[in-house]
Amino acid sequence: MRLLTSHLNGFIFFILLSLLSVSQSDAQTAVLIEDENFKVDAQAAIDSLYNQNQEGARLILEPWVESHPDHPLWILWDGMELWWTVLNDLHNTEYDEEFFNVMKKADYEASKLLRRHRDHPDALIIRAIANGYTARHYSNREEWLTAARIGLNAYQAYSRLMEVVPGLPDNTFAEGMKRYYAAYIPDNYPVVRTVSWFLPDGNREEGLKQLEIASQYGVFARPEATYFLGNIHLNYESNYEQALDYFHDLVNQYPKNTFYSRLYTRTLNHLKRYRDVIDFAEMTLEKSENLTEKDRRILEEEIYYWLGIAEYQMGHFAEALESFKKSYETGKKLPNPEMRPLQAVAAYQAGRTSERMNNSEEAARYYQKVLEQNNSDEAKRMARQRLEALN
């Protein structure tokens, strides 16, 4: 169900980047993005935001904020900065209320602008983005009805935007997301088929083609199109080589964005390129010294886990055990450790590796740690089996 709600809201995210390429004017309220100079600065600000340089992005936008201080775009930008904090560690709930409040405020201010100037492009875009991200995060928290209700608001704003400004340069991203997920959802969630009339016509192959065009030629939608192509090929199409290419592009373009580094490492493991995993993990961990303590721990929890898997597969059991232990111990220092899936699987792998090294006592300790988690039922099942075997 989590995937279903995420899919339904996924295509909404193209709108953030399309914001910078609308060219419709309002008779009374200027559309900020009509200014070619703003488009250049906004693209640079987006690149800075994606590269985890919020301060740099703010400096780029500062003259525009000073010239148009009441534009609701700046409230939305606050939400976008906070989104990266939320996305970086979804198991941490401490920013949820702030995130929801900021996006609610952005939606409210956009609604006021629409009441003054019907079909103002900026306001439609902001409403679609604010509601889309809010819906996605409610789905992350498994609040399905709220996610569906707010997601509908986002879809309605998006649909009206496409009528008001049909010639968006990066439309191939929007069309690609819509076509792919409109086909994927009914194919993979039979319960949806009975009500699939509300979805637009879908075509998975055509959707991927449209996304590919956006990832190559889209001016502002390129990074999001590239991410979703990688995510689709990794999680839904099982085309790991293709996914790796997209994540490699993102890692190169946004080297400070550890979210992409984690996805790249995960994909290398799916491909069983264990030597490459070790090399990339070691390089990434070396660079992590420049991160804040919290961000470094978030990165290390996952990178050490995948490093341990690669080392185990290559027969380096002592090194693998150390990596699994580091993953587990690092995760314990992060918020809500009992809810973090990597805590369970890292502990299980530490137990498995300890067994391989003929240390049954240590293996049993780690299997017991798995059972203390509030997630990962499969890891718990396997841990119980191993404990029974050891006893």
pLDDT tens track for 351-366: 999 999 999 999 999 9
- Residue 339 CB-half CA count within 13 A: 9
| Pick from 204, 210, 243, 208: nearest CA to 227 | 243
If one looks up domain 269-390 in CATH, what number appears?
1.25.40.10
Three-class SS state of 258: helix
- Residue 39 CB-half CA count within 13 A: 15
Q: Which residue has the tokens 């990794």?
A: 234
Average pLDDT over residues 321-335: 97
pLDDT, position 48: 95
Of the pLDDT bands very low, low, confident and very high (cuts 50, 70, 90), residue 190 is low
pLDDT, position 166: 78
Three-class SS state of 266: helix
Least confident of 29-43, 222-236, 308-322, 370-384: 29-43
DSSP state of 62: H
For the stretch 94-153, pLDDT in tens is 999 999 999 999 999 999 999 999 988 888 888 988 998 898 899 889 888 888 788 788
Burial 217-251 (b: 16+ CB within 10 A, else e): ebebbbbbbbbbbbbbbbebbeebebbbebbbbbb
pLDDT, position 94: 95
Please state, in angstroms and rounded to a whole number, the distance separating the CA atoms of residues 173 and 13: 10
Report phi then psi at 324, rounded to 5.
-65, -40
| Contact in structure between 323 and 304 (CB atoms under 8 Å) | yes
| Contact in structure between 29 and 116 (CB atoms under 8 Å) | yes
Task: Output the CA–CA distances (angstroms, integers) from residue 219 to 11, 19, 38, 58, in the order listed.
Answer: 17, 11, 14, 20
Total residues found in the chain within this entry: 391
Least confident of 65-74, 166-175, 183-192, 235-244: 183-192
- Residue 3 CB-half CA count within 13 A: 11
Q: Which long-range contacts (CB under 8 A, 24 or more apart) does 35-39 make?
A: 38/64
pLDDT, position 16: 42
Report phi then psi at 169, rounded to 5.
-60, -30
| Pick from 122, 61, 52, 123: nearest CA to 81 | 52
Assign residue 52 a region (left: φ > 0; alpha: ψ between -120 and 50; beta: otherwise).
left
Q: Which residue has the tokens 């111990």?
A: 329
Of 169 and 64, the structure prediction assigns the larger pLDDT to 64
Of 169 and 3, the structure prediction assigns the larger pLDDT to 169
Helices (H), the chain: 2-10, 14-18, 36-50, 54-67, 73-88, 96-116, 121-140, 144-164, 171-188, 190-193, 204-217, 222-235, 240-253, 258-270, 274-287, 293-313, 317-332, 341-356, 360-371, 377-390
For the stretch 31-61, pLDDT in tens is 776 677 888 898 899 899 999 999 999 999 9
Q: What average pLDDT is seen over the chain? A: 86
Report phi then psi at 264, rounded to 5.
-65, -45
Please state, in angstroms and rounded to a whole number, the distance separating the CA atoms of residues 42 and 386: 55
DSSP state of 337: G
pLDDT, position 30: 65
pLDDT, position 184: 76
| Contact in structure between 311 and 323 (CB atoms under 8 Å) | yes
pLDDT, position 171: 67
For the stretch 11-20, pLDDT in tens is 444 444 444 4
